[in-house]
Structure 1
């Protein structure tokens, strides 16, 4: 009996040592600048593609592995479990919802504002001109995606009851919304940036944008584990510096950004140009704390979240401030970065 107890104790100690070793290895990897970055293909992923292609991560001392996911939920679950280190295109509403349920997430930057299409069959396109036109319709939404929350907030402000005035079909992800619209099972779909090109290729009509419901609303925030950020802030600052340089390339050399997007997303020239230049998709690394807080309020207004958390504790603007400050130090007369600083002060003070 004692021998079995000794063996059992030895096995437990071995498992604990293995777990500690794994944790130390992961922490050491982050300290050395290795990050697994999760994304879904869409407007928010453009900056990561540019930074990777132009070796900006390497320039800043970060080794980045891009990991693709099919849905926001899958990506955030991977972040929560430590399978990836950063999420760059998993919305704003979903990370905030995870935070409300106890996840150790910190928003450290942005990737996309607005940019989510509302889609319908061409024959039904004329039916949707204002938010009140959704009354009496069957609407497909991707549950917990930012566009879904933004749209529901607009319904509430228009005095429409989502349980009485229309029928909402909740689906797992935007591709499922796309298929529901194409098949005619619903009148209209609340889409996402990730299906914008597929919607156009399918001949669907873009009858509106999420920006119509909440101008310049934050989407795709850059999210990481709070403990990881606190343990290796230099690595995350370097990551943001690389993205900021990619943002400048995207805005000042859109042709290069189009060519990169074409290769990374395996699309043709016309689609790449449409995707990168779409004016409703505003790409920016700025965390935009003010609008994130507005989104938090919106989530509570539509009863998606019931929480008394101080959301300020989960938005880290200092890393972006430092990253931008370092780029300005290197390039003191660069108008792009100086303008970015003005926007930061306006949106995060």
Structure 2
């Protein structure tokens, strides 16, 4: 009798151990793996939506670890060299220029639109009411900057010859633009978002914004390399899901945007950070806006920035599936949320229904 009880105890011990082990294996198999991304951003713009997504735990919700890497220049070179996974705030025209030169880049989402001013001295501001008023003027610009393309394209559309009717002076930085206008070396400068404090301190003022010249002008796109693997596709979807949620926070609570961005601009005072990330003309949108990317591509051809692109099919440089999947998950998880329905409507209009 004692022997049977002893044997029964051994059998039960191994049975329970087996059940426990199977349970642990099942739990481990159902637990989602952690994905990692290295995201590059330009120091000039920061990374508002990504900063919000990190601060609010949106990436953490997706089991996504995001390492942010800042660049003063060379972010797209780093992307091409596989040193980062995403180039976040490096414009639209610049990655398109890389594509025109053979880079295998793809656009998967958006980040910034508008917010870039054309500036002059306050005492001269009344001279500029229409694009015709720029004829004969010296204009400082940063080649391939967003406003550079938007402004030149607007002049071209207005019938103003950008090679003969205006004198375009290329400089390297926004600081150079402002200095050139302030010193009188040029009449007008094509500036950038986040520099209004310095602009006003120098006695300069905006006369047009990029939004005025092109209501849907694009700045930074979420740009990745073209060979998107299965794991990368999942990670990019999670990243875009975080940005979509962050966009809502930015719209509803700019203060959270400011607080989330402070660590990115830790050397700057709060007022300056707020100026950069909450400029009222600046729009943070995660939407890929394929329609306007294609329009920018056409503008760049019209003003002579890119040529001999007959062999390039721009359609091959979009992959909107990750954004679509991210938005689909958000809508399924929040079926009665009107905000996500509006985001879907915008997506359809800007990416599908414009053809």
TM-score by length of 1: 0.84
Cα distance, 1:184 vs structure 2: 2.8
Change (3 A) 1:199 1:40: farther
Which residue, out of 298, 322, 343, partners 2:346? 343
Cα distance, 1:264 vs structure 2: 3.0
Change (3 A) 1:83 1:200: farther
Aligned ranges 1:1-349 → 2 under 5 Å: 33-41=35-43, 45-71=47-73, 74-200=74-200, 202-228=202-228, 232-266=232-266, 267-306=268-307, 307-308=309-310, 309-349=312-352
Q: Distance in 2 between matches of 1:335 and 1:253?
A: 18
Residue-pair matches, total = 317
| Contact kept in structure 2, 1:229 and 1:236, CA below 8 Å | no
Q: CA RMSD in A?
A: 2.1
Q: Distance in 2 between matches of 1:43 and 1:341?
A: 26
| Contact kept in structure 1, 2:150 and 2:210, CA below 8 Å | yes
Change (3 A) 1:264 1:200: farther
| Contact kept in structure 1, 2:40 and 2:69, CA below 8 Å | yes
Cα distance, 1:251 vs structure 2: 0.9
Q: Deviations over 1:27-48 (max 9, x none)?
A: xxxx952222111245572112
Q: Deviations over 1:248-300 (max 9, x none)?
A: 11111222112223443244444444444433211100001111111111111
Change (3 A) 1:82 1:161: same
Residue 47 of structure 2 aligns to a residue whose secondary structure is helix
| Contact kept in structure 2, 1:93 and 1:146, CA below 8 Å | yes
**Larger proportion of helix:** 1
Change (3 A) 1:230 1:190: farther
Cα distance, 1:315 vs structure 2: 1.4
Change (3 A) 1:62 1:203: farther
| Contact kept in structure 1, 2:195 and 2:275, CA below 8 Å | no
Cα distance, 1:66 vs structure 2: 1.4
Larger radius of gyration: 2
Q: Distance in 2 between matches of 1:44 and 1:197?
A: 17
- Gaps (5+ residues) in structure 2? 1-32
Cα distance, 1:229 vs structure 2: 5.5
Residue 140 of structure 1 aligns to a residue whose secondary structure is strand
Q: Distance in 2 between matches of 1:201 and 1:221?
A: 31
Runs of 4+ displaced beyond 6 Å: none
TM-score by length of 2: 0.83
Cα distance, 1:217 vs structure 2: 1.3
Cα distance, 1:196 vs structure 2: 4.5
Change (3 A) 1:107 1:56: same
Q: Distance in 2 between matches of 1:199 and 1:33?
A: 42
Residue 65 of structure 1 aligns to a residue whose secondary structure is strand
Residue 232 of structure 1 aligns to a residue whose secondary structure is helix
Q: Deviations over 1:59-115 (max 9, x none)?
A: 2222112122224xx221221122221111111111111101100110000111111
> Which region of structure 1 is more displaced relative to structure 2, 175-184 or 89-98?
175-184
Q: Distance in 1 between matches of 2:135 and 2:215?
A: 22
> Which residue does 2:24 correspond to in 1?
none
| Contact kept in structure 2, 1:89 and 1:221, CA below 8 Å | yes
> Which region of structure 1 is more displaced relative to structure 2, 117-126 or 239-248?
117-126
Residue 265 of structure 1 aligns to a residue whose secondary structure is coil
